[in-house]
Structure 1
Amino acid sequence: MLTVYKDLDLEILPDVTVDVDARVITVKGPRGELQKNLRHLAMDIRLIKGPKGDKVKFIVWHGGRKHLACLRTALAAVNNMMKGVTIGFQYKMRAVYAHFPINMITASDNKSVEIRNFLGEKRVRNVQMLEGVTISEDKNQKDQVLVEGNDINNVSQSAALLHGITLVRNKDIRKFLDGIYCTAKTSVVQVEA
Structure 2
Amino acid sequence: MKYIQTEQSISIPEGVTVAIKARVIKVTGPRGTLVKNLKHIDVTFTKVDKNLIKVTVHNGDRKHVAALRTVKSLVDNLITGVTKGYKYKMRYVYAHFPINVNVVEKEGQKFIEIRNFLGDKKVRLVPVRKGVTIEFSTTVKDEMVLSGNSVEDVSQNAADVQQICRVRNKDIRKFLDGIYVSAKGNIVEDL
Question: Under TM normalisation by the shorter chain, which class is it?
Answer: over 0.9
Structure 2 match to 1:173: 172
For 2:46 and 2:109, the matched residues in 1 are separated by 38
Unaligned runs of 5+ in 2: none
Structure 1 match to 2:34: 34
For 1:66 and 1:142, the matched residues in 2 are separated by 46
Matched letter for residue 15 of structure 1: G
- What pairs up with 1:87-106 in 2 under 5 angstroms? 87-106=84-103
Task: Identify the match of residue 82 of structure 2 among 82, 85, 88.
Answer: 85
Structure 1 runs of 4+ aligned residues shifted over 3 Å read 107-111
Q: What RMSD in Å do the two structures reach over aligned CA positions?
A: 1.5
SS of the residue 2:139 aligns to = coil
Calculate the TM-score normalised by the size of structure 1: 0.94
Deviations 1:115-136 (A, max 9, x none): 1110011111111111111111
- What pairs up with 1:1-193 in 2 under 5 angstroms? 1-49=1-49, 54-107=51-104, 111-192=110-191
Calculate the TM-score normalised by the size of structure 2: 0.95
For 2:137 and 2:188, the matched residues in 1 are separated by 15
Matched letter for residue 27 of structure 1: V
CA contact (8 A) 2:109 2:127 kept: no
Using the TM superposition, name which of 125-134 and 74-83 deviates more. 125-134
Unaligned runs of 5+ in 1: none
CA contact (8 A) 1:47 1:56 kept: yes
Matched letter for residue 176 of structure 1: F
Deviations 1:107-152 (A, max 9, x none): 3799432111100111111111111111110122111100111111
For 1:43 and 1:189, the matched residues in 2 are separated by 32
Matched letter for residue 157 of structure 1: Q
Q: How many residues align?
A: 189
CA contact (8 A) 1:93 1:146 kept: yes
